[in-house]
């Protein structure tokens, strides 16, 4: 992250991490960064903030460890469709069970949004 004179990059980055339902960061470990988002705090990117940023970056870039399903209840499927492909994540109790993606074929790139969304549900059920 380019270190600048304002806290805008830190606020934007932390907004992404905090809004993400799959990535959970320990608030105590990222406190040096969250402190920088407060208006009353002078922006000072020190060693602790850099260490917190590197830890978050590692968490964002590493593949989650897959877990085995426990029973047959409380599964959650997260789906996303774009003009490039479909992706699906199957989770149980906030643990990733499996994930899959599918690159769209030429004809599928012409599908409407609701057809793509339905396609990802079908794709998820076939997993």
Q: Which residues contact 34 (CB under 8 A, 6 or more apart)?
A: 14, 27
Q: What is the pLDDT along the chain (127 residues), one digit of tens a residue?
A: 445 445 555 555 565 555 445 556 677 777 777 777 777 878 778 888 888 888 877 877 776 678 899 998 899 998 888 888 889 999 998 888 988 888 999 999 999 988 998 988 888 888 7
- Return the closest-CA partner of residue 70 out of 87, 53, 94: 94
**Residue-wise over 25-62: b if at least 16 C-beta within 10 A, else e?**
beeeebebbbebbeeeeebebeeebeebbeebeebeee
pTM for the full predicted model: 0.51
């Amino acid at each position: 992250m380019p270190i600048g004179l304002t806290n805008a990059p830190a606020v934007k980055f932390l907004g992404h991490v905090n809004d993400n339902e799959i990535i959970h960061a320990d608030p105590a470990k990222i406190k040096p960064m969250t402190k920088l988002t407060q208006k009353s705090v002078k922006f000072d990117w020190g060693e602790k903030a850099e260490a917190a940023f590197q830890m978050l970056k590692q968490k964002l870039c590493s593949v989650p460890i897959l877990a085995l399903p426990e029973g047959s209840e409380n599964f959650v499927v997260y789906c996303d469709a774009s003009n490039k492909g479909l992706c699906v994540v199957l989770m149980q109790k906030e643990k990733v069970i499996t994930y899959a993606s599918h690159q769209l074929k030429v004809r599928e790139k012409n599908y409407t949004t609701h057809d793509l969304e339905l396609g990802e549900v079908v794709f998820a059920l076939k997993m």
